[in-house]
Each structure stands twice: as C-alpha cells, then as structure tokens.
Structure 1
Amino acid sequence: MCMRCQKMDCIALLLTLAIVCADGTAQQHKVPRIRLSFQELVATQSSEHLHPMHGSSDYHILLMDEDKDRIYIGAKDYVYSLDMNNISRTPLKVHWPVGPLREEECKLAGKNPQDECGNFVRVVQSFNRTHLYICGTGAFQPICTFITHSSLAQNVELKIPVEKADSGRGKCSYSPKLESISFMANEELYSAVYTDFMATDAAIFKTMGRLPPIRSDQYNSKWLNEPVFLAIQRIPESSDRNDDKLYFFFREKSANGGTGKTSVSRIGRICLNDAGGQRSLVNKWSTFVKARLVCSVTDNTGIETHFDELQDVFILNTEDMRQPIIYGLFSTAGSVFKGSAICIYSMAEARQVFNGPFAQVEGPGYQQLPYQGKIPYPRPGTCPGGTFTPYMKSTKDFPEEVANFIRNHPLMYNPIYPIAKKTLIMRVNTDYKITKISVDRVVAGDGTYDVLFLGTDIGTVQKITVLPKHDGLSEELFLEEVDAFKVPTPILSMKISSKKQQLFISSAKGITQLALHHCGIYGKACAECCLARDPYCAWDGQQCSRYYPTNKRRRRRQDIRHGNPLTECKGFNVRSYREAVESRQFGVEGSSVFLECMPRSAQVSVKWIVQRHDTKRKKEVIYNSNIMQTERGLLFRVLHVNDSGTYYCLTVEYNFKHTVAKYSLRVMDIAMASVFTGEEPQKPWHPSHPSSFAHGAQLPYKDFSQLHDHPGILAGISACQPQRQPEAGSDVQADERRLKEHEERTKRRDRSQRRVVVKKS
C-alpha cells in the first residue's frame, strides 16, 4: 500500500513539474497585489451583502433583468427579487413551499429533510413582458408556475398556493444536487435536466410551445452519457434567423469502454427551429451534434496534460453577435493531481469543427476514427430554411437517412482547441478550487482588456487581467482577491452586469454585490495607482479613480501594459513618494525589537538596507538566526549595540523602488540603560550563553520569533510603536539629552584610557 502511495505521489510530482516546465505562469505561486478580508471589503463601501433570510438557504442567481434593474434569486422555498442598485434594500419575495404531504413522501423515500425535501427553485425565466415562469424541485416532484411582475411588485411577500403549480418534469431536475439549465425563446422553454427520480434519464427538452415536447434520444449514451449540464446560450450564425442555434455546455462520462468515471468536456448544439423527425426521431431532436472541448498543457517532451472537467462557461459578446468569445473553466479529473485552468475559444474554430468530419467509434477499445462513409444531404446538423437549405421549411422534411445518421453519429471527430492551443490561466496545487467565472471587457487608455472574476470553493473572488505578448505567450496580472462572505463557503453562482459595473455572487449562506472596481484601495499616490495596472483605474491628478474614455485633451495617468510611474506620474511627487517619514526606535542590549514593514502590494520584492550612524555608506542587511526578515517586517531577536543605525524597508516593483518605512534604531548598552532605570547594570544575556543568568531567572527579553507569524499579536506590537514625533519639552526629549550626555562621558573616558595606555608604553 505504501509503495502504491509513493508511486501516486511521484506521478503527481512529475505532472506538476511537466506543467511548470510547459508554462511559465505556473512557475510562481500566484499572489494578488491586494488582498481584502471580508471586514476590509465592507470598509471600502463598495459592496452590499444579504444574509440568510426566513430560514432559506442555497441561493442561486437565475435571472438578471437590467432593463427593470432586478435580479432574481432561487432558494429553498423562496424566489427573491432584488434591486440591482442595492441588493440590501427590502427584497421582494415569493414564498413557494411544498405541501406537508409531499414533504413527508420525500422523507419516506429516504431523502434528506433539510437538503432535499424542499422546493429548491432552479428556473426563473421571463416568459413575456408581464409574466415570469418559475420551476422548483418540489421535494423530488418538480413543479412550475407563472407569476406576474405586477403581483410581485405589489407584495413584499407573495405566497403561491400548492395547488396552483403545474408539472415540472422535463423543465427542472428532481434533485437540487443536479444542475438544471434553461433558456426561454419565443415563449418556449429549452431545458437540460434529469427527468426521473433515480437520475438515470438525462435529456435536453423543449416544452411549452404549440407543438408537442421535443427531447434528446432517450437512453442513448452516444448523445448524453451521465452529463453534468453547465450553461446554455443562443448564438446566431448568419443574418438569417433560421440559422440560429442553441449551444449547450456540459461534461459527461467518456465512452471509452472503461469502468472508470473519466470525464470529457462537450459543446453541443441544436437548431432553434428543430421540430423533430418523422420516423426514428419523432418528437426528438434531428439536428443535435456535439464536439469535445480540449484544455490542456504540453511540456517540452510533447506530453499533454488535460484539464478534463468543465466547471463553468462564460460567453463574452463582441460587436459581432455571431462571433462571441467562449471562456471555459476546467479542472483536473483525478485525485492525484489537482489543478484549474482557463481556456478561451473562438466561434469560428467551433463552427469549423462542426463542419468537419464526424466520428466513428469502432472496436472493443472504442477507438474513434473519422467517418469514411457517405454523408447524407442535407448535412446532419444543418438548420431547415437557413442559408444551406432554403427550400426545406422543417426538419420533418429531412430524409430518414439524415435522422438515422444523427442518431448514431452525433459526435464530431476533431476536438475544439483553445486559441493558440494554450491555457490562458492555470492554478496547480492550491488549497482552493476555482468554480465560477465572469468576464468584463474594459476600454483603457492604452487598449482594450478582458478582466476576469473567478469564484472559488472557499468564498473568495479573484480579479485578473491577462496581457498578450508578442511571442504568443501572455502575462497574468493578479490584481486583487477578496473574501466575498464573512465565513468561507463555496460560491454557487456569479452574474456580472457591465451596465451597472457590479458583480453578483451567491452561496448557500447569502448573496454579495461587489463593485467591479474600488480604485481607492491601491493607494493615495499616482505611482501606486499606476503600478496597480488595473484597467478600471487611473490617476486623475488628485486620487486613483474610475477611468472613463474621453476625447477631452485632459490626460488621465494610466499604463496597463508597462505600469511605469516614472513616465506616467511626472509632476506628481514621485520622488517624495519614494521617501518615507523616519520613525525613531529605541532598544536595550539583549532585548528584542521588531521593525514593521507592510507594503500595500503583496507582489513587491522587499529588502532591508542599513546605514550605520557613524557612516554615510548604506548596505543590505545580512539575515541570520538573530536578524530575521518576516512577512511583516524585520525582527531582531537579541539586540547588540552595533545594531544601531538607520534601517530602510525598500520595495521593488516593475523596477520602481519605493521606501515603505524608515527607522532610526538606537541600541543602549546595559550601563546606558541604567541611567534611566537607576538599577545596577547587569551582563547582557545571549542565547549562546544561557549560564549568564542564574537558574530560574527571568529572561530580559521576549523572543518575538515565535510571534511574527501571528498578525493579531503583531498588530498590537505595532500599535505600541511611536506614531508621531515627540513634542518639545517632553519626557522623551529629556531622556535623549541624558542619553547624549552619557555617550559624551563614555567617549571622554575611552579617550582618557587610550592616552594612559600610550604613556605606559
């Protein structure tokens, strides 16, 4: 068993090394420039929070209506309508529980009373201008109903009678643990759900129209093989509306004949005007095709490591609605090696694959080969009445051989590779997993950038932008990371509103509204704002604030590509920013001293420079077991007299140097300290000579090396340091005068002793 564990650990190590060698972005442990705790986020006044209400839980963001400024949340037994401008304002709510009989039947079926035997709302769609259509799990008996916008607006709480609900089969999954994705078009509901109690029948459905319901081929693993549905999106293909298609993003079990749960990521599509076939595919999709999405990294030897499990998808619309950019969030499938990656895909590449060869699965090893037989006309997957089949008005006009081909060959042979066949962002061996992604396209002063917001399973949101380079690689700018919730909890859903410049985040514990930018956190100097390289932010001459593109001649200071304050911040006191106010620090020989240095950015390199009081020469501090550099400053475990000097905490970021802190440290010997205490001088203690103190004697200092990893303790220590220069006539200045007098007496005594020695010789 131990040999097996060692082998698995070795494999994980080799995979990690392969990825590190293949992609430079994985070589460094990624840290955000700014890190905000939940309390610090609240203090910025750039967020709103809505905590659990009415005993409900499991909040999912299901619909965002930017025209009405409303966002709709599905939860256990409730639907909430929140104000997008401020979610903490009085929410409108729909109370929609199941009846006691249905709840009892669910419990008798062996389901969890708290987590499963409720009405978990999973579908909220705008049916028309006046009505919403909502569906819930109904305690493992899905139900749906209509509600009007007016009734919801007129009631702070609207209750729906149990008997008013319709069957939700084919519209919502039975279990709240299974994803239900939906899309409403022309008052017809498209859904990808599990349609039975045992979760064995996964299907893509169309319901509510004038025609009978249409679904995917039942129990056909060539179509769907234990899928996990993730996203659904309508994407036009040409100026002809008959060519419009609905794309589904999911992952499913690989049909490789093995017994394992190997996953593959898929993108499938159907025509919006698909009315089903005539014989073999009656009331079933006759245009369904699918392809594999590949997100992988290749090392220098050609070995490819795949991120097989698609976790989330974001479709970023461009000026051409036919050419959106697809952002896919992936993770590794195994337990040996853990990692997340983001890949981006073009619709042109996807369409090229769907127009390419179909796959033919052959042999006992389920080997996939390109189909070599005759392709029927019209080409399977083509929409009726569109650009290529203008004379066919319905899929029912397709020949039977087209339906038979689709039924047995829905998979394309070629996979869809990401742009440049490279991962955009990668995280390996982290203590968290990225689960959600949203993207905003931002126009900055020197170009247009995509800013990514990544949600994790520990409740944090990462803000990242990626800069393209000339060599085909990219540079990741990890701008910030915030705790979206007070208690770490997995993020369940995220929706972004570019119009409102807000990000909405949900979890089982509540909902958070987060501004896409809070420029003030980067600092109060032009250099700090420029170094942040946040596309949302620029220096306006007085502060770091939101950047707005304008044709006016007045220039905002911003440099996303290079982040060079020397060129952008001329005339804004760059030199004074580099300096720091000197703080005086006193210590006694043998005691400990901590010099705090907390750079605003976590991405800087920090080094300490010392200038002794008797020289103008500066040199870098040499660290040892006695002088230690920590994340929060410089620690002297045991002070020596020759440690006196001026200490500079210097940071370097993008070749720009900044003095964060400056300390004038004076170390008094034991005799000098006795001038102030009036006590008899004692021999200074040193850790290498513990016998210098009698048995049981108390050490004259506290060893801070045991405390420097505890921020709370160090915060208290830093609070004890002098915060301002002493006033004239104060006790501190009196002590300084006595100190100088003692130093002069000591120097005179030393000179006298040297003269005596010379005369004797």
Structure 2
Amino acid sequence: MWAAPGHCLPLATLLLCLLLQQPGSSRAWKQHAPRLRLTYKDLLKSNSSRLLLASGDGMDFQALLMDEDRAWLMVGAKNNIFLLHLDHPNREPEKIFWPAPKEQVKHCQLAGRNVETECANFIRLLQPFNQSHVFACGTGSYQPVCAFIQLGARGKGARAPRMQLVTHSLESGRGRCPYSPHEPFTGLLLGGELYSGTSSDFMGSSAAFFRTWVHGAEPSYIRTEQNQDHWLHEPTFVGAYAIPDTYNPHDDKVYIFFRETAMEAGQWERRHIHARVARVCKNDVGGKRSLINRWSTFLKARLVCSIPGPQGTETHFDQLEDVFLLHTRDPRNPLVFGLFTVSSGVFSGSAVCIYSMAAVRAAFSGPFAHKEGFDYRWVEYKGRVPYPRPGTCPSETYDPLLQSTKDFPDELISFMRSHQLMWEPVYPQGRQPVLARVNVPYRLRRLLVHRLDTDSYDVLFLGTGGSSSARPGDTAGQLLWHSASPGAPSPDSSSRCFTDDGKVLKVALAGGASPAPEVISLEEISITKVPSPILDMKLSPKRQELFVSSTHGLLQLSLYRCELYGRTCTDCCLARDPYCTWDSKSCAPHLLTEKKRARCQDVLEADPLSQCQDTAEGTAVVEKVVFGVEKNSTFLECLARSPQSSVRWLVRRGEETAPSEVRGQGGGTRSRGGFVPRD
C-alpha cells in the first residue's frame, strides 16, 4: 500500500477486484505468457527435480542414451562414461574412466588447443548395438576413437551387471566422431552400420556423410563426394533417421538433416545459410565404374521455415538447430519437428516448424535443380531424366533386374554426380511456424516432443543455449503465435528480460500437429545454477521425467509441477497443463498411461464454468477490506494467478447502489498489480 497527494478513497466506496475467465474466450488468452516461471532456487523448492551428476571442472555431459525397459541411463562426459540405474536412485553410478593417451594430449596442446576444454576424450556418441553392448565414440584429444561398452547379461536375481570397456575393440573414430568436442554432428547405428555426418580432418574443414561398418565385416566405408560444393558446402549436421518408404525393406532410406552455406546464390550475391533434408538408400553400395565408395542415391532439398509478411516478404529461419521425429500409427509417415534460428543485424530468434513426410517425398519426386546459362545460375532442370529415376533404391518394387546400385546404368551415375539438389523446397504444415521466439537474450537449441491423448496434445520441451544480446528497444521474452485465424494475441511488451542460458521451456500444442494448433506456454524453468547451455535432453514417458544435461551437470526433471498452479479448481483449469487435473481437492498429476480416466478439465476448452464447482458464473471474486485516508490515495492490490485470467474493477458508492465497472482513466489509475482509485 502506498499514498500520493491528490487522490481520495472515500470510506463509503467499495471496490471489487474480479478475476474473470468467461467461457468461449480461450482464443483471446495471452498464450505468450508462461504459466510458471521458476528460477533455479524455485525449482529446488518445488521438489520436482534431482541433480544426478554434478561437475565443477566442465565434464560436458554431451551424450545421453536411455533404456526405459531396463531402467538405465548412460551418460557420455569428459574422459568418463556413467551408467545410472533409474529404479535405484541412491545407488552409486557405474563409471568407466576412458582418457586420451598422454602422448596425444601433448600433441593436442602443441597444436594450440586448450588442455581443459579440448585436449581430452569427450564422449560424443552412444548408440545401442544389441542387448549387451553399446557402441561409443569420443574425440580422443583430436584423434577420434571408438569402442564397445559391454553391459553383460542380466542374471536371475543378480544385481545389475557392471559395465566395462571392451579394450580389444578399440579402433579409429575418423568419419564416425568429430575431432572437436564443440562441433555439431550426427550418428545413427543400424544393423552394424554407422551412419554419421561429421568432419574428417583435424581442422574440421572437410565434412561428409559416411556409412561405416562397425562389426562383422572388413573395414570399409561409403561417403559423399569430396571437394564438390554442390554435394555439401560447409555443412553442419543435426540429425539422421531411418524411415521406411514402402512395405519393401529394400526401399528403406536414411534421412539426414543439416544446414549448409547455400550454392543457389549467384557469384556476387551474399552467402546464405539454408536448412536441408537429404536422403540415401540403406542398400546403396556406390557405383561400379564411377562413384566408387560414394553415395549413388544422395539427394537433398531445402527446408523452409518462414513467417509470411506484407507485400510477399518473408522472415526466414534458416539455421536448423535440432530435429525430432514424432512417430505415428503409420511408421512410414512420422511428423518431423524442426527447431530453427535466425540471426542478423535486424532480427534474431527461434522457431518450430512441423513437416509431413508426404511433403518431403513430394520434393524428392519433383524436378531437379540445374546450373546453366551464361551466368551459370541454378534453374529448374527440364531435360531428360534417366531411368530408373535418380534416388530410387535398387529393389523389385521398381525394377526386378536391378539388384544393386552397381547395376545402375552409366547414364544414371553420371547424372547423380552433378544433380544432388531438388528444385522444389519442403514447406511446413500451414506454411508457417507453429511458434517463434524473437528478440530474446537466448536461443532455443534442443527440442523434444511428447504426444498425449491420442493425437490431441503435443507437448514441446525446448532447451536454450547460445546467448545473444537483445538490442535496445527490443521486447524480450516475446512468444509469437502465427495462425491463419485473425485475433492472434500480440506480444506482451511487459515481459521480463532473461539474460542467462540453461532454461527448459514447456509449450503445449492443443489440437496436436494440426495446420493451426493452439499454442499454450506452460513453463519456463532455469535448470542450472550457473549459466550453461543445454547440451542434450532425453524424455521418459514411462517415468514421466525429463533428463537434461549441460556442461555442469545432469538433472532429472519431472514433467509437471501441478501444485504450483494454485489451490482452486479454477487455477488448475486455467493452467491448461495436460499433465495435471483437479482431483476434487488439489491440482494433481494424473496417470498418462491409463487409457480411460476421469478428469475435470479439458485443455482444449478450459472452461471453469462447466468444469469446476468452486466458481460462480465462471468468475472468482476476491473481497478485501482496505482502510484509506481522505485526500490521499490507496493502492488496491489484485494479482491474477493465471495469465489466462482477466481483471475487472467494480465500484459501489453507498450500500444502496449497485456496483458499476470502472472504465478508462476517469475512475482511477490502473497498474500491473492493482488499482489506484480517484475520488
């Protein structure tokens, strides 16, 4: 309460603060405001997290591998691999100490690398090989090395077996793991074959997409062509996934997601970064007389994630940061969630776009790009396309006479040497992002998606990293929701500015991955005590937990904090958190594994009038006696617990008169937390 001359609050005047949520007004809610904002201290008080591994010397917990069925989590760090038994949280983690040779550490130092942050064996790759072995690779102090980790067989009634490094399996990690601990890369192990996108030299100047055999065969490999910019030009690899194309396994393909410096621009135009999706056939073994040990089915297309603007201008998010494949009932048609960023002197931010595999396949079935003309520009190729169509896998689906890529005709192989790029790009659902964060002091770097309630809700978990400074006048913390429908909420200029990394954002898409889902920002949580970017995240739907790693630690985080939403059904309902429900006494989590369950709230509608019994006509009225002094003003505090609530002020002068709503500036001065009435 505070006072200022010139304002008077008569004692006979009664003001009521009404916190309102009217049915049918959900589309106008302030969806950009997170329902909960928790600092690291607040998170510890909530008892919804636990620090599993801590480090004071920059352990860099970069690689996570989880087995939900056997309840263990493997963690790759600096010179160490840890195995945590999730069903026994008090058990000491098993550990393998795997440093780089001392001679190689000295060579790394002599090459000018930092002994603490670079000259060590940083474990970057953990991939399941079978029930008893995991394939692991580390940087080896700028000499990549790989080996098998043996878990052993689980004996009857026996304690979980100790893991150990299979020393006789040590081999070079070149083409499998990056030399640098900081370089983004991707790796996918399928049937004893490792698909990896990484640099292949000490300087990190030559990157390629490889396939190497890790077991049961003589050492051999296949890769993209060297020193050919139209194949790959300064690529940064993000992810690789095996996705079947038909019911015939011989048609299966591996899809690669990356970003690169685009070659489509003219010689004198500014260089641009483009996001890409590429694919290769799993049964590609290269050509017979040309493209020997080179991919003969490698094709790529541009991924577009942009916000349409006036006069046909668009804001493009071209720097692909992360990809999540959301599996559906049809294994051939998962949804592709892409996390993008953009950084320029005018605009910076992050966005999430959703792609269908139908759109991806349509681009690869369309026309090819081609260089021609006096200025040697990229145009649509309109010449004759050889048979079988470039990019087709050798199988009986298309031609029973083609048993291998070595059987491809020379005309096709010659075409594939210079035609990797597709002319048509891949557009997202709705032709725009489902959400975008712009002009914030951090960027979104990691993405996980959890689908709930039979396609009704998708929950996005977003990890931050890589600080960027907001310019003067920018509104920090803006969450823009771009929808085809008018009336989308505008950014909240009163949002607080956050300047540190190490946050996890929880955002719900009500309606799932429909063309225009409703976006609900639920939580914004600081998970590190010291600013530190999120390095990796793993989701455990079975345990309803999120595992988040950073340079300084590994945190186990519950998917919900229902009790923090409030003590009433209205508060719980307005939170619109699909993990929470009102159980007639409190806002509590419900079991997501149950197919049939009773819950009071509907996240899509969230109407407390029909879902709660503790409100009258959908309105919660708070009455409070406040004593004022004549000829002075009195500050009446009224804080809305939910950002989905609206605030109205009613005044009644005298006991016989009915309350009337205070409108405009005539009745007083409104503030963010209350109201100063005027006599």
Structure 1 position 514, deviation (Å): 1.9
Tell me which of 509, 525, 532 is aligned to 1:466: 509
The secondary structure found in structure 2 opposite 1:408 is coil
Larger RCO, structure (CA 8 Å, separation 6 or more): 2
Alpha-carbon distance in 1 for matches of 2:412, 2:628:
88
Structure 2 counterpart of 1:43: 45
The secondary structure found in structure 2 opposite 1:105 is helix
The secondary structure found in structure 2 opposite 1:182 is strand
Structure 1 position 366, deviation (Å): 5.1
> 1:166-181 alignment to 2 at 5 Å?
166-181=171-186
Alpha-carbon distance in 2 for matches of 1:326, 1:436:
14
Structure 1 position 56, deviation (Å): 4.5
Residues 585/90 of structure 1: CA separation in 2 closer, same or farther (3 Å cut)? farther
> 1:236–1:244: 8 Å Cα contact kept in structure 2?
yes
Q: Deviations over 1:629-687 (max 9, x none)?
A: 54444579xxxxx97xxxxxxxxxxxxxxxxxxxxxxxxxxxxxxxxxxxxxxxxxxxx
1:507 and 2:509 correspond: no
> 1:574-653 alignment to 2 at 5 Å?
574-575=615-616, 578=619, 582-586=623-627, 595-612=636-653, 616-619=657-660, 629-634=670-675
Q: Deviations over 1:275-299 (max 9, x none)?
A: 1111221111111111110111222
Structure 1 position 530, deviation (Å): 2.0
> 1:173–1:193: 8 Å Cα contact kept in structure 2?
yes
Tell me which of 146, 149, 168 is aligned to 2:148: 146
Structure 1 position 90, deviation (Å): 2.7
Alpha-carbon distance in 1 for matches of 2:513, 2:532:
40
Structure 1 position 354, deviation (Å): 0.8
Residues 96/335 of structure 1: CA separation in 2 closer, same or farther (3 Å cut)? farther
Structure 1 position 575, deviation (Å): 3.1
Structure 2 counterpart of 1:182: 187
Structure 2 counterpart of 1:313: 323
Tell me which of 306, 309, 320 is aligned to 1:296: 306
Tell me which of 346, 358, 365 is aligned to 2:368: 358
Residues 50/258 of structure 1: CA separation in 2 closer, same or farther (3 Å cut)? farther
Q: Deviations over 1:27-74 (max 9, x none)?
A: 979211222222222333222223423744221233222222222222
TM-score by length of 1: 0.73
> 1:316–1:325: 8 Å Cα contact kept in structure 2?
yes
Alpha-carbon distance in 1 for matches of 2:71, 2:87:
7
479-488 or 559-568: bigger deviation? 479-488
> 1:275–1:395: 8 Å Cα contact kept in structure 2?
yes
> 2:323–2:447: 8 Å Cα contact kept in structure 1?
yes
Q: For structure 1, which runs of at least 5 residues remain unmatched after alignment?
A: 1-24, 637-641, 644-761
Structure 2 counterpart of 1:540: 583
Alpha-carbon distance in 1 for matches of 2:377, 2:610:
59
Q: Deviations over 1:573-605 (max 9, x none)?
A: 223995566555456668886554333223433
- State the one-letter code of the partner of 1:494: M
> 1:440–1:450: 8 Å Cα contact kept in structure 2?
yes
**Structure number with larger C-alpha Rg:** 1
Tell me which of 248, 260, 267 is aligned to 2:256: 248
Alpha-carbon distance in 1 for matches of 2:535, 2:270:
27
TM-score by length of 2: 0.82
- State the one-letter code of the partner of 1:436: R
> 2:58–2:551: 8 Å Cα contact kept in structure 1?
no
- State the one-letter code of the partner of 1:351: R
Q: Deviations over 1:402-458 (max 9, x none)?
A: 2221111011111111113122112222232111111111107xx711111122222
Structure 1 position 472, deviation (Å): 5.9
1:226 and 2:267 correspond: no
> 1:703-742 alignment to 2 at 5 Å?
none
Q: For structure 2, which runs of at least 5 residues remain unmatched after alignment?
A: 1-26, 466-500
Tell me which of 191, 205, 210 is aligned to 1:205: 210
1:103 and 2:93 correspond: no
- State the one-letter code of the partner of 1:252: E
- State the one-letter code of the partner of 1:352: A
Residues 514/364 of structure 1: CA separation in 2 closer, same or farther (3 Å cut)? farther
42-51 or 228-237: bigger deviation? 42-51
- State the one-letter code of the partner of 1:348: A
> 2:195–2:211: 8 Å Cα contact kept in structure 1?
yes
Alpha-carbon distance in 1 for matches of 2:518, 2:604:
10
Structure 1 counterpart of 2:114: 112
Structure 1 position 225, deviation (Å): 0.5
65-74 or 616-625: bigger deviation? 616-625
Q: Deviations over 1:469-496 (max 9, x none)?
A: 9996443211222222223322122222
- State the one-letter code of the partner of 2:326: L
Q: Deviations over 1:513-536 (max 9, x none)?
A: 222233322223222222222223
The secondary structure found in structure 2 opposite 1:412 is coil
Alpha-carbon distance in 2 for matches of 1:437, 1:28:
23
The secondary structure found in structure 2 opposite 1:361 is strand
1:376 and 2:386 correspond: yes
Residues 45/28 of structure 1: CA separation in 2 closer, same or farther (3 Å cut)? closer
> 1:128–1:187: 8 Å Cα contact kept in structure 2?
no
Residues 68/391 of structure 1: CA separation in 2 closer, same or farther (3 Å cut)? farther
Tell me which of 610, 614, 618 is aligned to 1:573: 614
- State the one-letter code of the partner of 2:647: V
Structure 2 counterpart of 1:452: 460
Structure number with the higher helix fraction is 1
377-386 or 241-250: bigger deviation? 377-386
170-179 or 94-103: bigger deviation? 94-103
Alpha-carbon distance in 2 for matches of 1:546, 1:365:
63
